[in-house]
Every structure is written in structure tokens, then in C-alpha cells.
Amino acid sequence: MKTTPRFSRRSFLRLGAGALSLPLLEAMLPAGRRGAAYADELIEPVRLLWFYVPNGIHMPSWTPATTGAGFVMPPILAPLERHRAHTLVLSQVANRNAIDSVPGDHARGTGAFLTARLPRQTEGTDISVGISADQVAASVLGAGTRLPSLQTGLEGGVSVGGCDSGYSCAYLRNISWADEATPLPKITNPLVVFQRLFGLRPGELSPEQIERQRSRRESILDFAVQDALSLQARLGANDRQKLDQYLTGIRDLERRILDMSDLSCGPEEVPEAFEGSLDAYSDIMNELMVQAMVCDNTRVITHMFANGGSNRSYDFIGVTGAHHEISHHQNIPENFERLERINEYEVGRLADLMDRMTAHTLPDGRTLLDQSALFFSSEIEDGNSHAHTNLPVLLCGGAGGALRGGRHIRFASETPVANVFVSMLHAANVGVDTFGADGNRVLPELTTG
């Protein structure tokens, strides 16, 4: 029996001088190892994604009244009803590494968000916190991908100077850390993310060249797409359909990006360029993250929906005023209602990301969401108390079978969030038993509780 694939994955990756990488197709598999009968033999990597939102959550409208399965989705979590089977709501999860006796909870909480280490209070260059969980994952999962990890976000800003009670802006504007003193800046410009993913490095196209491409509607993928299409006649029906859907999605995504204004500006100007159209901005960034995982360009992503302590206005959903100021609700019912609307919108953006992940079926028949683990949380519990001991935590996806969703788990006591990260790393076959200052075990409740 012939056992070699018709086409190697490497041959596809060479298309367009590396400008285009494609998802795994049946034609890349050895003959006799294709089709549903061999789904169990296909090994798809687990993808890990951390989704950060600022200023805490209005917990009374977040926390389900009952534990286990069959709980009623509270108002803020309502957008996730369609993804109930892939959603774990985790209560009594703490990040005590963000607690100190001095002000600065937003900075400490954001700095400790993925590091589970106490940030050093400084506004200078002597910042110190710790390596983040995504970078532990990237050291293993990134070995075979174009990008070891990807950092994205929807709000810019520099990482120098002071931003919160004597703490550096680096803590508030980054959640990914290569080591204790090196934050990995997020990319807030969708075009730069697109170029990073599909072959063009930042700086290879000048603003003038980008403008010429926009005016001519000339695709940067034209030649790569032609090469890919030339192979269609040699592919099976399933592969032809998958390739057509994939190329159509890439074309549409590129067109939407190139049609936007002011994309040639620096990342720090992007939030102003997208002012009034956060939905469109978030849609495109969500799609870019999904394409990055579908193409296996990266298996590790962090996403900051906004910076720590963000003062973004949500007037486009009828909530006037700055988010951070509203989060200091002072137990005023009007502020509760405003926070609930903001938080529901944030969860809706997560639901949109999960929609897109569910729409992609992998060669083994599972969806991208089945094969991923998504962590969603904030730097603090409540914006008024600035507590860190009962964080709003969601863990979504199937992680290749390592997560059993559809449940609300209330841990018996303050469970270190670092143990959630240890569990995610184990699900992705990243062999660590400890993480951060207090992560020391896998949580069996996530699978069998």
C-alpha cells in the first residue's frame, strides 16, 4: 500500500515564498490514513489562548446561583449560552500574588495576571515580575510554528513611565512576559498582525506602499493564491472545498483590513483610528487569532481587550462615562447596571471568538474550539473593592478532551489561578508541575468534577 502523502505540508508552506500557510488537508496525510476511520490517528495540537478584560466584573450578575451542570446563565454570561457545553465557570479562584499593602491593584493584578508573581513597585527600568504562562507554553509548543506566540490587543500605549500608584506602565499594558524584566508588547494594528502571520514583516511595506495597495485593491497574496489554486485539480473533493473556504476567508479578511483607514499609523494610534467601531476592530482581531490557530502559525495567543485600569468609553452601547471610573461603583445601582452592560459586551466578544473557532473543523473531525483552551478573566474581582481572591474566571473549549464544560465549579477555598495555568499547560502536553509563586498541581475537577 502506498503510504506517502500526495503533497507534503512543507510543499504547501513554500507557496508564495512563505506568504501563505494552509490548514492540514487530507492530501497531506499518508494514503490509507485518510477519512473518518482514521480520525483517532490524527494528532492535532492543543491551542492555548488567554483573553484579558480590565477593571473586574460585576460579580452578582456574573456568578451562577448553583454549581455543577444545569445552572442558569446569569445576565453577564448570557452570550455564552450557545457555548454552554464548552464553558466552565470557576469560582473561588485567587491570585494572591497581586495583593500588597500599598495602592496599585490594577498594575499588580495585570502584572500578575499571567505570571502569578508579585510585580516590583517601580516606575523605572528595574521592572520585575516573572515569566508568563503563555511563554512557558511557547517554549514547547512554538518549536514547530511560524510564531512561538502571538500577543494582540485593542488598546495601545507605551510601556515606560508610571501609570498606577508608583507602578510602571509596563505592568498595565502587557500580560505576556518573556522573563521577569521583559514584557512582550501586544500588536494592536490588525494589518501588522496580518503581515506577521502571512509573511510580510513590519517595515517591509512603507506607508506609501500600503496606500498604493489599498488604492489598487492589489492583494499581497495574489501570487500565493494562484499557486494554491493551481493544485486544486489534484485534490479530493473535501480538500477542494476546505481550500476554497480558507482562501475565501483570507481574501475577505484582507479586504476588510485594507479597506480600513489609517492602518499605516503606528500601533499606539490604532485605538483612535478605530474610535466608534470597536465591534469591527474586535471582529477582525478575533478572526486573525482564529486564522493564526487554524493555519498552525502559532498555538499560543494572549489578547488584551483593553489595558489594565482602562478608561475606555462604551457610549456606543449606551453606557456613558469611563469604564474605570464606573467600576468604582460605590454600590450605586445605576453603576451596577452600567457595569453589567459593559461586562456583557466583553463576554459577547469572547462568544464571537468561540463562534469563529466552532466554525472551523480540523482533519480529525473536531472543531478548533474542541482542540483549544481559552482562559478569560480580569486583574481584579470587583472594581470597587479591588479584591483578588474570587476572580471572575472562565475556562472554555475542550483542550483535546482535557476539559469537561457545561459546569459551574466553586472550589472549596481560594484556589491559586496558577493551578488553572498548570492544568492548561498539562492539557497541551507542556510538562510542568509548578508555575508562578503558588501553582503546584493539576486541577482534576476541570475534567472529572
DSSP letter for each residue of 364-420: TS-BTTTTEEEEEE-SSS-TTT---SS--EEEES-GGGT---SEEEEEEEEEEHHHH
What are the pLDDT digits (tens) for 181-197? 999 999 998 888 887 88
Closest CA to 173 of 306, 268, 68: 306
Closest CA to 387 of 152, 87, 45, 98: 98
pLDDT over 70 for what percent of the chain?
Answer: 76
C-alpha 359 chain-centroid distance: 17
What are the pLDDT digits (tens) for 145-185? 889 999 999 999 989 999 999 999 999 999 999 999 999 99
What are the pLDDT digits (tens) for 221-241? 565 566 666 667 677 777 777
C-alpha 315 chain-centroid distance: 25
Give the mean pLDDT of the chain: 84
Q: What is the predicted pLDDT for the residue at 241?
A: 72
Torsion region of 351: left, alpha or beta (phi above 0 gives left; psi -120 to 50 gives alpha)? alpha
Give the integer Cα–Cα distance in Å for 214 and 257. Answer: 9
Q: What is the predicted pLDDT for the residue at 248?
A: 72
Closest CA to 71 of 63, 79, 83: 63
Closest CA to 353 of 282, 281, 286: 286
Closest CA to 17 of 224, 205, 203: 224
Least confident of 16-30, 307-321, 395-409, 428-442: 16-30
Q: What is the dihedral of CA 287, 303, 423, 117, to 10 degrees?
A: 170
Give the integer Cα–Cα distance in Å for 29 and 8. Answer: 8
Q: Which uninterrupted H or E stretch holds 445?
A: helix 445-448
For the beta carbon of residue 250, count every other beta carbon within 10 angstroms. Answer: 23
**In the numeric block, which cell numbers belong to residue 41?**
490517528
What are the pLDDT digits (tens) for 57-114? 999 999 999 999 999 999 999 999 999 999 999 999 999 999 999 999 999 999 999 9
Confidence of residue 251 (pLDDT cuts 50, 70, 90): low
* Pairing outcome for strands 177-179 and 87-94: unpaired
Q: What is the predicted pLDDT for the residue at 433?
A: 94
Confidence of residue 277 (pLDDT cuts 50, 70, 90): confident
Domains in the chain, ordered, with CATH? 47-189+276-448 (3.40.720)
**Secondary structure tally for the chain: helices H, strands E:** 14, 13
Q: Which residues pair with 410 in a beta bridge?
A: 91
Give the integer Cα–Cα distance in Å for 443 and 287. Answer: 31
Q: Cβ(357)–Cβ(290) under 8 Å?
A: yes
Q: Is the dihedral of CA 72, 78, 81, 85 positive or negative?
A: negative
**Residue range 200-215: average pLDDT?**
55
**Max Cα separation, the chain?**
73
Closest CA to 56 of 354, 302, 308, 345: 308
Q: Does 214 have pLDDT greater than 70?
A: no
What are the pLDDT digits (tens) for 360-377? 988 778 999 999 999 999
Confidence of residue 309 (pLDDT cuts 50, 70, 90): very high
Q: What is the predicted pLDDT for the residue at 264?
A: 35
Q: Is the dihedral of CA 73, 76, 80, 82 positive or negative?
A: positive
Give the integer Cα–Cα distance in Å for 142 and 136. Answer: 10
Confidence of residue 255 (pLDDT cuts 50, 70, 90): low
Q: Does 15 have pLDDT greater than 70?
A: no
Give the integer Cα–Cα distance in Å for 71 and 77. Answer: 11
- DSSP character at residue 78: G
What are the pLDDT digits (tens) for 40-49? 444 689 999 9
| Sequence-separated (6 or more) residues with CB below 8 Å from residue 16 | 199, 221, 223, 224, 225, 227, 228
Q: What is the predicted pLDDT for the residue at 171?
A: 98
Q: What is the predicted pLDDT for the residue at 224?
A: 56
- Coil, helix or strand at residue 440: coil
State the burial class of residue 147 (Cβ atoms within 10 Å of its Cβ: 0-12, 13-18, 19+): middle
Amino acid identity of 185?
Answer: P
| Sequence-separated (6 or more) residues with CB below 8 Å from residue 197 | 146, 147, 150, 288, 291, 292, 295, 297, 298
Taking CA atoms, 35 is separated from 22, 330, 364, in Å, by 19, 59, 8
Q: What is the predicted pLDDT for the residue at 223?
A: 55
**In the numeric block, which cell numbers belong to residue 287?**
478572526
* Pairing outcome for strands 407-416 and 87-94: parallel
Q: What is the predicted pLDDT for the residue at 449?
A: 61
